[in-house]
Amino acid sequence: MAAKRTEIADLGEFGLIDRIKNGFSLQNLTSLKGIGDDTAVIDIGTENLLVSTDMLLEGIHFDLSYMPLQHLGYKAVAVNVSDIAAMNGKPEQIVVALGISNRFSLEAVDMLYEGIRAACSNYKVDLVGGDTTSSPSGLVISITAIGRAAKDKTVLRSGGKPNDIICVTGDLGAAFMGLQVLAREKEVFQTNPNMQPDLEKYEYMVGRQLKPEARMDIVHELAEKNIVPTSMIDVSDGLASELLHLAKNSGAGIKIFEEKIPIDSQTYETAIEFHIDPTTTAMNGGEDYELLFTIKPSDFETLKNHADIHFIGHLHDNASQHLMISKQGTVVPIQAQGWKHF
Amino acid sequence: MAAKRTEIADLGEFGLIDRIKNGFSLQNLTSLKGIGDDTAVIDIGTENLLVSTDMLLEGIHFDLSYMPLQHLGYKAVAVNVSDIAAMNGKPEQIVVALGISNRFSLEAVDMLYEGIRAACSNYKVDLVGGDTTSSPSGLVISITAIGRAAKDKTVLRSGGKPNDIICVTGDLGAAFMGLQVLAREKEVFQTNPNMQPDLEKYEYMVGRQLKPEARMDIVHELAEKNIVPTSMIDVSDGLASELLHLAKNSGAGIKIFEEKIPIDSQTYETAIEFHIDPTTTAMNGGEDYELLFTIKPSDFETLKNHADIHFIGHLHDNASQHLMISKQGTVVPIQAQGWKHF
């Protein structure tokens, strides 16, 4: 009898994560929160320790033909810091595991670490360890970030309550459109190497793709204003996917308004140029690394004039109903969509 | 002018690590020890937090034609636990970043996690997070382990003093010979697929290669006997390399006796069969994951009858003199040798 073969793609990324999670139970009292949030949460006495890990693989997460190595180094740190931010924590240390083939020179490795160093300096994080090995083919960079949050200020995905207001920072969809622009320019360049790419009008989007920032500024501002979100997640896979994570973990329903979703005007116009619905870039684009969070209605007054926080809807008590009210006033169900790498 | 290109191989693994280390300074008070020991050390109040990371790449660190996926999962955890053990600490959590291509089925992923689960259970470690992504080609597994040690019992590479006795656990060189046996059997199988490999007489070595164990038993025994090594490291790259790390960090010289180096009789005979000097398998083979440590002379009495701890020499005050006294009584300098993947 042949061994059974099930494709990973049949389960999907989130299905696979659930399967792994269900196969493991926690045995140490210090393990407060395992798989299933932006970071693990470990008890270290007066505070919580937050641990996040992300692996970036050449050919999957980046293309070195348009991703400079400094930016790759910066981004690899920023995406981990973003996970710490999503717990309302502050990052303090990272360890970096790097697989690199002999097609890379020492100067290339230096550039990568220059980006890592710039991110460490910006986010006030120390590189405290790592592993460096050769890789048979592509570049692999896997970073683990360690941060801290006060026990009563650690924000999980699960604390949202009906009527809490759904907030998102910055704007969405730009990193995704930046990637589309870069992919198109690469194709043009391959067809006609003498053609100089004109990226100026796409500069903002390309920057969002190549050099995303973790929103530590928001974490600090919320602390100053003494606001603790009831639930939070970072927008790495697209707004739709993250909304559904908050809803599922908080046991609440979602209602958002399409007109409230923050989309930069350049992103909007470029999406139209590419024949993509601008709302789709925000809902399913991903890699924005903005913060999506919920606040108690009583905190709205304090935040309502914040220039970079947008109020896109609220939670409600029908945990199976996740809806977007379109600009035309129609009701659109919010659909899950994880990464589709497999 | 062409950009300068320096090969990573010109610098070597340890040169590269030094270069990275020198490019970063520590800015957070909680970062007690950065790059340059078996783990990073982070201040968490009454205890130290220990953080280790290791990346295993298909085609570099393992060959799936003879490495069962369960064993790979087990080994990926064990090598990280071994780093925690080398600080005299106890592991508590791991996070696992996995890059896997669509040539792997869900059943294959299950087998990998079965090995991870077995190791978690054996070492009392919780899997608390991770990242799962597709890989364009080979399997990549990057694990970060988190452990703890009491402040006064955390053992660095740097605490050795002249006259301290050099100890090593278990036996050395077997994992390296196991790899030679597996590589030979693979070649034989490729030439003649009907030939059944006869691995019985090599079973111990093959087991040491495929399923290494971290010596947490030794960490617990030393604690019971109230002995804190003065310096410690795990034997991952070969005895010679690890001895030189202890010497360099402790600012001491090394004197060991070839006849005292523990080599299993099967390993010894197989090395002869392969025309390899048995001592070379111990000095430069690597992947033994035994503990190499130094103790104060006054602690010798307590340990001298331990069945699995071997006393192979001592530190002395000439920090530039690292010698092995051969079985014939000649003096042989101990040579550095890191990984040669690049």
Residues B186 and B271 occupy one common structural domain:
yes
A106 and A184 both lie in a single domain: no
Query: Quick check: B7 and A105 CB within 8 A?
Result: yes
- What's the gap in Å between the CA of B313 and the closest CA on chain A? 30
The pLDDT score that the predictor gives to residue B143 is 98
Chain A, nearest residue to B30 by Cα: A92
Q: What is the dihedral of CA B68, B209, B18, B261, to 10 degrees?
A: 170
Can you tell me which residue has the tokens 């191989």? B9
Q: What is the DSSP string of A184-237?
A: HHHHHHHH-TTPPP--GGGHHHHHHHHS----HHHHHHHHHTT---SEEEE-SS
CB pairs under 8 A between A and B: 262
Instruction: Examine the domain organization and report whether B125 and B267 are in the same domain.
Output: no
Higher pLDDT residue, A195 or A228?
A: A228
The verdict on a CB contact (< 8 Å) between B113 and A30 is no
Read off the pLDDT of each residue in A169-183 and give the average, rounded to a whole number.
Answer: 96
Q: Are B197 and B107 found together in one domain?
A: no
In this structure, the answer to whether residues B112 and B217 fall within a common structural domain is no
- Is B2 a residue whose pLDDT tops 80? no
Which residues of A are less than 8 Å from B125 in CB distance? 28
Mean pLDDT calculated for residue range B129-144: 93
Question: A180 with A318, same domain?
Answer: yes
Flag whether A339 is in a domain. no
Can you tell me which residue has the tokens 């360690």? A146
What's the whole-number mean pLDDT along residues A287-315? 97
User: Which residue, A153, A187, A207, sits at the end of a domain?
Assistant: A153
- Closest-approach residue (CA) in chain A for B96: A53
Residues A242 and A320 both lie in one domain: yes
| Lowest mean pLDDT across A196-205, A318-327, B118-127, B278-287 | A196-205
Question: Is the pLDDT assigned to residue B13 strictly greater than 90?
Answer: no
Measured between CB atoms, which of B24, B100, B124 is closest to A27?
B124
Domain of residue A283 covers 165-333
pLDDT at site B339 = 47
pLDDT, average across residues B217-235 = 98
Segment A68-97, tens digit of pLDDT: 999 999 999 999 999 999 999 999 999 999
Q: Are residues A169 and A147 in the same domain?
A: no
Is residue A23 in some structural domain? no
Is the same domain home to B297 and B197? yes
**Does ipTM exceed 0.85?**
yes
Last residue of a domain, one of B133, B153, B173: B153
Instruction: Classify residue B8: in a domain, yes or no.
Output: no
Q: Looking at CA atoms only, how far is residue A341 from chain B in angstroms?
A: 6
Q: Which of A43, A53, A58, A77 to mutate to test the interface with B (most CBs of B within 10 A)?
A: A53
Asked if the structure places residue B142 within a domain, the reply is yes
Average pLDDT estimate for B187-198: 78
d(C-alpha B78, C-alpha B118), whole Å: 10
Among A5-9, A114-118, B214-218, B283-287, which is the least confidently predicted range?
A5-9
pLDDT at B47 over 70: yes
CATH number at residue B60: 3.30.1330.10
B146 CA to centre of own chain: 17
Residues A110 and A188 in one domain: no
β-pairing verdict for B90-100 and B126-134:
parallel
User: What is the percent of chain A with per-residue pLDDT over 90, rounded to a whole number?
Assistant: 85
Overall number of domains in chain B: 2
What pLDDT score was predicted for residue A191? Answer: 83
Assess if residue B13 is contained within a domain.
no
Those residues with Cβ within 8 angstroms of residue A274's Cβ, 6 or more apart along the chain or in another chain: A177, A180
Q: In this model, does residue A46 exceed pLDDT 50?
A: yes
Residues of chain B with C-beta less than 8 angstroms from the C-beta of A7: 102, 105-106
Per the CB < 8 Å rule, is A7 touching B106? yes
Domain boundary among A153, A177, A209: A153
Which of the two residues, B245 and A3, has the higher pLDDT score?
B245
How high is the pLDDT of residue A232?
A: 98
Q: What is the CATH number of the domain that holds B193?
A: 3.90.650.10
A228 within domain boundaries = yes
**What is the reported pTM?**
0.94
- The model's confidence at residue A339, banded by pLDDT at 50, 70 and 90, is very low
A32: in domain: no
In a domain, A29, yes or no: no
Give the nearest partner residue to B134 out of A10, A104, A342, using CB atoms. A342
Do B87 and B210 belong together in one domain? no
What confidence tens digit (pLDDT) does each residue in A30-39 have? 999 999 999 9
B78 and B203 together in one domain:
no
Bridge partner list, A272: none
At B48-66, the pLDDT tens digits run: 999 999 999 999 999 998 8
